[in-house]
Amino acid sequence: MAAAADAQSGGGRRGGGAGGSFGESLPAPGLSVVFDGAAACPPIDSPYGALTRYDGSSRRSGGAEGAHGGIDLSLDEGTPLRAVAAGRFFSAGEGGMLEGIYLWILHLPEDTGLGFPFLAKYQHLREPSPLRAGEAVRPGQEIARSGKTGTVGGHYGPAGYPHLHLTIRLLTPDGVQRAAGNAAEFRLLRDSIIVDPLTVYVPGLRTPADAAALPPDRKVLRVASVDQAGRPQPAEARSVWPVACR
């Protein structure tokens, strides 16, 4: 692999919980990512656990929840968003300010090769995803397009802020059963915990809680990229960056 071109921190402080009123969350474990020297990937502009937005403004002003419960990538509207791993469509909808149009993908260990089951939420989509209920997705597959829904007005002003907000929720054992069996019985706050999205890129990680105890060299993660055609680089990668790299 060529020399790393960039490093993006997933650190930050919990600040009362990285999920705010969105349920239980784990503190930021201090992870960061590096990309292959030939890949120019959209960077993290607001990491997990951050108390500030992409522009440096406080998340605790204007009624915000506090510490960031995901990662933000600033993107042009209409940028293809990629599945971070194999999984299947779980649910979708549209919320108000700070959420917008969103999509959930369910990722189980047998699909991803990771040691834990999780849900990935893609927010601020330009329009609803074309995926159908239960549809399978592969790593790097286009699942939606970036937008600014849920950002127009308030702090972001009339122009809004086009970006991807990616949230990862670790499923509890009972939550896995409900999510994979009868989704109508699944309850997000009861059945999942917010974790740093970068934990899905830690090779061999048993559970996201273990990431905090990793030695410093293992907290710098070499993340597989996706090319403009949606092909993981390297081809055998099972966890990839959610936006194509150049």
| Model pLDDT, residue 57 | 85
Going 225 to 227 to 229 to 231, the CA torsion angle's sign is negative
- Give the up-direction half-sphere exposure of residue 182: CA atoms within 13 A in the CB hemisphere: 3
Give first-to-last CA distance, the chain, whole Å. Answer: 16
Using the structure block, give the residue that is written with the tokens 């995926």.
131
Task: Provide the token pair at 4.
Answer: 């790393």
DSSP class of residue 2 equals P
Please tell me which of 64-73, 178-187, 203-212 the model is most confident about, judged by mean pLDDT. Answer: 203-212
User: In the structure, what pLDDT confidence band is assigned to residue 65 with cuts at 50, 70 and 90?
Assistant: low
Using the structure block, give the residue that is written with the tokens 């060299």.
217
Over 99-144, what HEC string results?
A: CCEEEEEEECHHHHCCCCCEEEEEEEECCCCCCCCCCEECCCCEEE
Q: How far is CA 181 from CA 83, 150, 176, 184, 238, in A?
A: 22, 31, 8, 9, 24
Is the predicted pLDDT of residue 63 greater than 50, yes or no?
no
Domains along the sequence of the chain with CATH:
7-233 (2.70.70.10)
Q: Which of 1 and 169 is assigned the larger pLDDT?
A: 169
DSSP class of residue 198 equals G
| pLDDT, mean over the chain | 87
| Model pLDDT, residue 52 | 86
Q: What's the pLDDT tens digit per position in 85-144?
A: 999 999 999 998 889 999 999 999 999 999 999 999 999 999 999 999 899 999 999 999
Q: What's the pLDDT tens digit per position in 150-160?
A: 999 988 899 99
Distance of alpha carbon 190 from alpha carbon 185, whole angstroms: 11
Name every residue whose Cβ is closer than 8 Å to that of residue 96 and which is 6 or more positions away in sequence.
150
Distance of alpha carbon 88 from alpha carbon 53, whole angstroms: 30
Of 4-18, 42-56, 90-104, the one with minimum mean pLDDT is 4-18
| Model pLDDT, residue 216 | 96
Average pLDDT (37-45) is 85
Inter-residue contact 124 to 150 (CB < 8 Å): yes
- pTM of the predicted model, to two decimals? 0.89
Distance of alpha carbon 67 from alpha carbon 79, whole angstroms: 26
